[in-house]
Amino acid sequence: MDLLDYVLFMPGIWLASMLGISFRLIGPAFVVVPTGFCLIYAILRRVKPPRVLGLYFALCLVVAGLSNYQIFPTSWQVHFLQDAIMRQLAPLSGFFAVTWASKAYFRRRLFYGDVFSGAPLIVTLSLFVAPAVMIQQGVGYEGDYSPFAVIALAGGFINNMLIAFFFIAGAIFFTRDWRRYAALAFVLLTAATSHFAQFRLMTVITLAALVGLPGRRVAVGAVAILISLYAIGMNFIPEAMVTDPNDGLRLQLVFDTLVSAADTHGIGIGYGMESVRWRYQFPNMADFTFLPDPATMTHSRMLEALSTGVENSFASALLRTGVVGCLLLVVAILAAFPPRNLPRDVRNHAAVIFAMIFITCFVNPALESPLQAIGVGFGYGYLLALRARSRVCTPEITWFGKPVWSRTGPLGSHRGPAILASGLDAK
């Protein structure tokens, strides 16, 4: 790595890795580190921004500008704050900046071969320093403020875990020694102790690819199953609220965005208004108050409430930027799908990272929250860089300075790359 990496790109990644949920402590500094630094880094590297994602981000900027004049139609939304426009747009700006910078960073790492450079420091910050900071800050989960609750949050795919999982999956697919077994043990232990089904799903995807199933097909299958579950589940929201209120509310939030999209004829509501209802009514249940009474809220609390995102970034895109914006975001994410002409373990690792990004965006407000936008952008930028590199030659990848994949033939060749680090014969 060179000076630009250490001064402009890595500080934002280190900061997101070491703070975890406490990343919100940086407040408005988010527009400087990582957003501003990453934009400068990408420009100085002279790398073109992601094309489709750039179109989506440009559309969001136009919609945000027009939202100042309140010209967009509304559905069930009732409150508007002009200050909320920039607040709602800030996490997406960070995601775009980190993605662009990450693409530039990994294009160089793929060229030099050392994709996992700096892994020990980042994994240490993510898995040890971040939990310590969160415990010191008194972070809890569902009323539990014990250290165990913080450990269980490892499966929540916030920035530190999203970034760490990139390297952990690398150890699983690219090493054949104690590092693979340590990574597998961590993944299995986290899946067993975490509250989050999304991490268990990622564990299944990772293990399926590891034992020989095609990673790309496994990722596609997981995406299809997840979408199908939501499509079916939205027909049984009251029943879901009884069995699991968390799942039921997620389905209701997505359903409300579909209602809003229909009411606005697919145009979207723009920025500055709420994306969730203040109160929900379900059959045979007491009213569910999701947000406090607006009349009792201060301006800053109101601003925070209006910035509460739908638990699905694709649904949020549909809500605010309409059908066009949602389609652009979907195409942008699909543009990062790993190509088939990569070596097997490179392809499987990339497929797992793609699945992680999609799942995180599908079940969380990933692109609407600084707590996840950085980690998603980090992995997404890598996938874009990998696709670009695959058009030139098969990438050579090293782990902790040891080559694990070497260039053995032209793209499209059926020859497998040699596994040099493990001493095994080429597969």
Confidence at residue 151, expressed as pLDDT on a 0 to 100 scale: 78
pLDDT at 427 exceeding the cut of 70: no
Residues 99-105, mean pLDDT to the nearest whole number: 98
User: Of the candidates 155, 152, 133, which has an alpha carbon nearest to the alpha carbon of residue 141?
Assistant: 152
Instruction: Compute the distance between CA of residue 370 and CA of residue 269 in angstroms, rounded to an integer.
Output: 22
Exposure string of 21-34, with b = 16+ CB inside 10 Å and e = fewer, is bbbeebeeebbebb
Residues 214-232, mean pLDDT to the nearest whole number: 96
339 — phi, psi (to 5°)?
-70, 160
Express each pLDDT in 303-339 by its tens digit: 999 999 999 999 999 999 999 999 999 999 999 999 9
Q: Provide DSSP, 287-324.
A: -EE-S--GGG--HHHHHHHHTPPPS-HHHHHHHHHHHH
Confidence at residue 150, expressed as pLDDT on a 0 to 100 scale: 80
Estimate the crossing angle of helix 10-19 against helix 370-390, to 10 degrees: 130
When pLDDT is cut at 50, 70 and 90, the band that residue 139 belongs to is confident
Residue 151 CA to chain centroid, in angstroms?
Answer: 20
CA atoms lying within 13 Å on the CB side of residue 248: 16
Q: Strand (E) positions, 239-371?
A: 279-280, 288-289
Confidence at residue 390, expressed as pLDDT on a 0 to 100 scale: 87
Express each pLDDT in 225-260 by its tens digit: 999 999 999 999 999 999 998 899 999 999 999 999
Residue 177 CA to chain centroid, in angstroms?
Answer: 29
pLDDT at 143 exceeding the cut of 70: no
Instruction: Compute the distance between CA of residue 260 and CA of residue 72 in angstroms, rounded to an integer.
Output: 12
Confidence at residue 416, expressed as pLDDT on a 0 to 100 scale: 33
pLDDT at 404 exceeding the cut of 80: no
